[in-house]
Amino acid sequence: MRGKEKKLIFIDFEFSMPDGRGPKGFFPEIIEVGLVCVESAKTSQYSSYVKPRVFKRLSRRCRSFLSIKQENVDSGITLTALVKHLSNFNNDGSNIVVTWGNMDMKVLKQNCDRAGLTFPFSGEFIDLSMEYKRFFGDRNQTGLWKAVQEYGKDGVGNHHKALDDAMTTYHIYQLVEKDKRYLDKAEPTTIGDRIDLAKLQDLLVQ
């Protein structure tokens, strides 16, 4: 399994979103984090709401779509505290950060750049949605919960809840890696598997 000796970090963020175009200069800010860390077969979890640094009031659309209340983020940690906490999971680059889609790391980097903070991760990054797409030969990228349902499983908890989505990403990772190991062990068929050689010999004698 890839990353066997490395720390695996599964992350999901929820972002703020505007009503319509939103205020001038609007950009998505992290308002919730969910993280599952797997190291030496031990699993730990972390979740928290995060205070928006620039656009402090959540839009009606954001509150409705994500079921996050204004008081949730008002009592959350700061972006600075979030980045510091995430850096504690970074293992000098000897880790793999796994997300579903590429937006989580893009928004984290954008938020760090705008706040003058150092990006907390180094090492390898995996967009599991692209891995899933390549593995199954899908033409289009598949949504997180649709992907787990295609495996005949249910997502963990509630969709668009950061920790639940991070845990669901972890479960899909395990399922895909299990399938990869199965395919790696499967021996390719030989011509003898496909043709009855005894019958072929009889035909040649005739």
Lowest mean pLDDT segment, chosen from 88-92, 184-188, 190-194: 190-194
131, 160, 177, 187: which one is catalytic?
A: 160
What is the C-alpha separation between 91 and 96, in angstroms, rounded? 9
Mean pLDDT of the chain, nearest integer: 86
Is 7-183 assigned to CATH 3.40.50.1100? no
C-alpha 158/C-alpha 67 separation (Å) is: 10
A 10 A CB-CB count for 54 gives 14
Average pLDDT over residues 77-86: 98
Report residue 40's pLDDT band, with 50, 70 and 90 as the boundaries: confident
User: Does this model's pTM top 0.75?
Assistant: yes
Judge whether 124 counts as a catalytic residue.
no
**160 catalytic per annotation:** yes
Least confident of 18-27, 47-56, 182-191, 194-203: 194-203
pLDDT band at residue 29, thresholds of 50, 70 and 90? Answer: very high
What are the sequence ranges of the domains in the chain?
7-183
**Band of residue 188 on the pLDDT scale cut at 50, 70, 90:** low
The rounded distance, in Å, linking the Cα atoms of 181 and 183 is 5
Of 14, 29, 32, 131, the catalytic one is 14
